């Protein structure tokens, strides 16, 4: 994580990201990533900016996160290119309620009839504090919220086919962040998969929380959420944005060294949680 950038003021970072975003909105196809199998029945179908994943449960597909509204075509292309039909998606589960993770939700439901899923806390934000989805930060004027078909409670288990997903509320980055844990099998081995649903510090600046009329205690809540899931057994970490778990570097390594799978790393989850915890404490100590 680039802690240097957090030494700039929050406004500087917003302005910087906005210039990068404009390029992204004009040319989403430049950020396409060829989909690939991570492990077992779990596939990467996101782009190089925002992660999306697909699970083939044997009784339909589960998709995690629907990216930006303007890159829906990348997701559709990726699902087909991974060897699946988007009409088989039964649940489209969202890690949290920000515009860069929910953008194509309505498009997917309208086209394919999947059920749109998010935590109840995330659904509450969309109902009661829709400004916290930050649609205004998105240059695309057509980005929208969605009305969920299913709202997940903390600890709820969602099952489809051979896959049961434990859904754990881990607020901080946003009030509605959920993290997900499930098992997958490959060559007779079972792997525990873990997905932390929102890791960015960008919403946790003191001045940002005040501007958003969110309690400053969200910062402690974030640290508590990390501790809440630290002890989960995880062999494979999924990212929320590719840079957070080096998704694309791991993919490169897979291609360079066929037969190895850098996504399988039983130490990574605790390392990820501990590094994020340490970095966030540094971030706060730096006066943000
Ligand atoms: Zn977010």
For each of the chain's 288 residues, which pLDDT tens digit applies? 566 666 666 777 777 677 767 777 888 999 999 999 999 999 999 999 999 999 999 999 999 999 999 999 999 999 999 999 999 999 999 999 999 999 999 999 999 999 999 999 999 999 999 999 999 888 788 889 999 999 999 999 999 999 999 999 999 999 999 999 999 999 999 999 999 999 999 999 999 999 999 999 999 999 999 999 999 999 999 999 999 899 999 999 999 999 999 999 999 999 999 999 999 999 999 989
Cα-to-centroid distance, 266 and ligand 1 (Å): 26
N-terminal to C-terminal alpha carbon distance within the chain: 16
Cα-to-centroid distance, 192 and ligand 1 (Å): 24
Beta bridge partners, 190, equal 185
Q: Where are the beta strands (DSSP E) in the chain?
A: 36-39, 42-44, 53-56, 61-64, 89-93, 115-119, 150-152, 157-160, 163-169, 178-186, 189-195, 236-238
Cα-to-centroid distance, 128 and ligand 1 (Å): 17
The predicted structure's pLDDT at residue 2:
62
Cα-to-centroid distance, 103 and ligand 1 (Å): 12
Cα-to-centroid distance, 177 and ligand 1 (Å): 8
Cα-to-centroid distance, 172 and ligand 1 (Å): 10
Cα-to-centroid distance, 199 and ligand 1 (Å): 8
The predicted structure's pLDDT at residue 283:
94
The predicted structure's pLDDT at residue 7:
66
What DSSP line would sit under 216-261, residue for residue? TTHHHHHHHHHHHHHTS--SEEEPSSHHHHTHHHHHHHHHHSTT--
Cα-to-centroid distance, 226 and ligand 1 (Å): 16
Cα-to-centroid distance, 281 and ligand 1 (Å): 19
The predicted structure's pLDDT at residue 1:
55
Beta-carbon contacts of 251 under 8 Å, excluding residues fewer than 6 positions away, are 33, 36, 44
Cα-to-centroid distance, 80 and ligand 1 (Å): 26
Which residue ranges form the domains of the chain, and what is each CATH number? 3-285 (3.60.15.10)
* Rounded-to-integer distance, Cα 239 and Cα 237, Å: 7
Cα-to-centroid distance, 97 and ligand 1 (Å): 7
The predicted structure's pLDDT at residue 15:
73
Cα-to-centroid distance, 258 and ligand 1 (Å): 33
In 3D space, the residue among 63, 69, 56, 154 whose CA is nearest the CA of residue 103 turns out to be 69
Cα-to-centroid distance, 137 and ligand 1 (Å): 12
């Amino acid at each position: 994580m680039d802690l240097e950038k957090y030494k700039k003021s929050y406004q500087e970072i917003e302005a910087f990201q906005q210039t990068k975003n404009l390029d992204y909105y004009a040319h989403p196809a430049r950020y396409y990533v060829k989909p690939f199998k991570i492990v077992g029945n779990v596939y990467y179908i996101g782009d190089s900016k925002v992660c999306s994943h697909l699970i083939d449960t044997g009784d339909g597909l589960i998709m995690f996160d629907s990216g930006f509204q303007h890159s829906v075509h990348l997701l559709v292309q990726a699902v087909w290119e991974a060897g699946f039909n988007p009409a088989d998606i039964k649940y489209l589960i969202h890690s949290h309620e920000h515009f860069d993770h929910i953008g194509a939700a309505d498009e997917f439901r309208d086209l394919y009839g999947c059920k749109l899923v998010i935590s109840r806390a995330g659904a509450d934000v969309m109902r009661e504090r829709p400004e916290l989805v930050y649609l205004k930060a998105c240059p695309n004027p057509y980005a929208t919220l969605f009305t969920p078909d299913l709202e997940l409670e903390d600890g709820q288990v969602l099952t489809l086919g051979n896959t049961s997903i434990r859904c754990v509320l881990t607020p901080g980055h946003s009030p509605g962040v959920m993290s997900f844990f499930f098992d997958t099998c490959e060559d007779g081995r079972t792997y525990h998969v873990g997905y932390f649903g929102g890791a960015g510090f960008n919403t946790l600046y003191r001045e940002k929380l005040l501007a958003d009329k969110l309690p400053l205690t969200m910062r402690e809540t974030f640290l508590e959420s990390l501790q809440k899931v630290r002890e989960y057994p995880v062999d494979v970490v999924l990212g929320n944005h590719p840079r957070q778990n080096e998704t694309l570097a791991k993919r490169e390594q897979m291609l360079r060294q066929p037969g190895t799978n850098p996504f399988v790393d039983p130490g990574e989850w605790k390392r990820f949680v501990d590094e994020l915890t340490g970095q966030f404490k540094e971030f706060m100590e730096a006066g943000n």
